[in-house]
Structure 1
């Protein structure tokens, strides 16, 4: 990735900062935002001058197509600060590629690479005081694109808005979670938009997740739409299973998101001689492994949580507890290795860190 940018970025700095009003020890995820935001509109067939301006509300016409036809995609990524005050992104090239893949699937224009990286790095630099050092601390970055054309005709929009907003974050999930394996609802289907980070994918999860929560579960493990026999994702995360000493995760497809954390954990497992298989996993295999004592771990993996251990699951009205592994669980080993790379505490032999200068 080049640091040579030519987008003619316009910058309007906030007159005052609200950082001193924020309690960084008691953050609620996604509720607090930094002083600035990035914005760029697509009008008359081309992207206009990108801008950074003070974080503020924006006015939109009630007929904006995003409200009616759901043309909206987003990404989730983080910035980290080491003890020397240097700030790093983690594999931002993967987020850039994926948001454009999502845009293409929803008939939205792809965003220029130079606009993306200059906007992202300049924004993080402006608000770098919001990036706090220390393991678990980060600045969550939310690039997103929406249709803004004022028309309710059922067709792709003629105009769009690309934005990046930033939110300081601590750990997303604390402790372990209990999950319900889906028997009726599906996250996505063959030929659909499951591989894209489309806003509607997440809205469709809320109802079945709320039903699971009423039963005492925090999340749902999604199964395939055709037969509900294959395990695919956990909540808003990719999911991993450990049977004996082998780690297993489902392959990406047009139903399963190509998670940056997922692919990084696969590489870290290989780097650290942890046996790993990328293949389809049947519910029956996991149930049987739990019954015979070979199922050691299940954990979700994603940007916000990094890794979220699962303590047990329900399937067909039966609850299955997982063993409590006090030491050397794969989830703790891989999470520590991942976070050490992100926070510049260990070698980055795969060259995933991207310094914000």
Structure 2
């Protein structure tokens, strides 16, 4: 078990009140976790300290060569008072997958989960109780060598911060409008598209602004080679229900292996719903829309869980998805996953981990 030194804050912040809306990623708890890495010494000095600024050299490699990664998961307050994590082992696995891709030293996955549980336990009072709320957990690693040269760093910091967040859709699961990008690309096979690193997200900003200016909420990305195969939507994975079958792009090296994505696939299989992971072209989606077999479209991710799509725009084609309302399967998936996360439904897959 990871030996964690704990230093409690002497100036605790005021907890958010039930009257104040929790805006995503704007409020942070009293403490944070830090662990350092040094070549020849490994990961060491695990500690929980008061939330505070960090000091880095202007020449720190993270600023110049982007060697950094991050993850995202949540802690939930169950009706019986327990604090639950949802599949943290998958985030630990994905962390090390990213680490291998961008030459960051791997972290023992049990230590990773222990660090999360320890920090959440220290700041457990910050786990909100209002329906739809949760405590967002952001683990991340940065390269800290003060060196201007393109090579892996010899020193790193692994940190975890916490942020209480409100419901992603405070007014309910209202379907969003999606702009299908056919100019810019996000990632290609062999690149870092499957890694959870900032470069993937900054590459998406230009198209996101373009989509917002046109009245659309998110961007759906096509592949970077043929410019015809569906990849991701915004920071989420994407699913289509076509003629009774649930279809999602297969993991091909440029698509992030989402935890919620995997959960949706497993639930569909449990329910006997046909589900396929395959290469899907935008032409197939347009054809399904034209012949009336495009029944539902939804994104999946940690923040929103399920994000129903009510309209797709591809070139000059506007494709409303059925009535523009949330589909029956999308609603069932959302209710089931959030029910498991909150301890309201039987966790037959053993996905939740209690913070004790």
TM range (shorter): over 0.9
Deviation at residue 324 of structure 1 after TM alignment: 2.4
How far apart in 2 are the matches of 1:156 and 1:329?
48
| Structure 2 match to 1:246 | 245
Deviation at residue 237 of structure 1 after TM alignment: 0.2
How far apart in 1 are the matches of 2:91 and 2:283?
34
| Structure 2 match to 1:9 | 4
> Does the 8 Å contact 1:182/1:228 carry over to 2?
no
Q: After superposition, give the CA deviation of every residue in 1:285-318 in whole Å (9 maximum; x if it has no partner).
A: 1111111211111111000110111110111122
Confirm or deny that 1:207 pairs with 2:209. Answer: no
Partner-residue secondary structure (3-state), 1:61: coil
Partner-residue secondary structure (3-state), 1:336: helix
Q: After superposition, give the CA deviation of every residue in 1:106-159 in whole Å (9 maximum; x if it has no partner).
A: 011111234312211110011111112354111110000010110111111110
> How many residues matched?
352
How far apart in 2 are the matches of 1:19 and 1:199?
31
> Does the 8 Å contact 1:179/1:313 carry over to 2?
yes
Deviation at residue 24 of structure 1 after TM alignment: 6.4
| Structure 1 match to 2:231 | 232
TM-score, structure 1 normalization: 0.95
Structure 2: 5+ residue stretches without partners:
none
How do 1:165-180 residues align onto structure 2 when only pairs under 5 Å count?
165-173=161-169, 175-180=174-179
> Does the 8 Å contact 1:178/1:312 carry over to 2?
yes
Deviation at residue 239 of structure 1 after TM alignment: 0.2
> Does the 8 Å contact 1:241/1:249 carry over to 2?
yes
TM-score, structure 2 normalization: 0.95
Confirm or deny that 1:163 pairs with 2:144. Answer: no
Structure 1: 5+ residue stretches without partners:
none
1:42 to 37, 42, 50: 37
| Structure 2 match to 1:73 | 69
> Does the 8 Å contact 1:83/1:134 carry over to 2?
no
Confirm or deny that 1:84 pairs with 2:80. Answer: yes
Query: Relative to structure 2, which stretch is displaced further, 139-148 or 318-327?
Result: 318-327
Query: Relative to structure 2, which stretch is displaced further, 65-74 or 131-140?
Result: 131-140
Query: Relative to structure 2, which stretch is displaced further, 198-207 or 271-280?
Result: 271-280
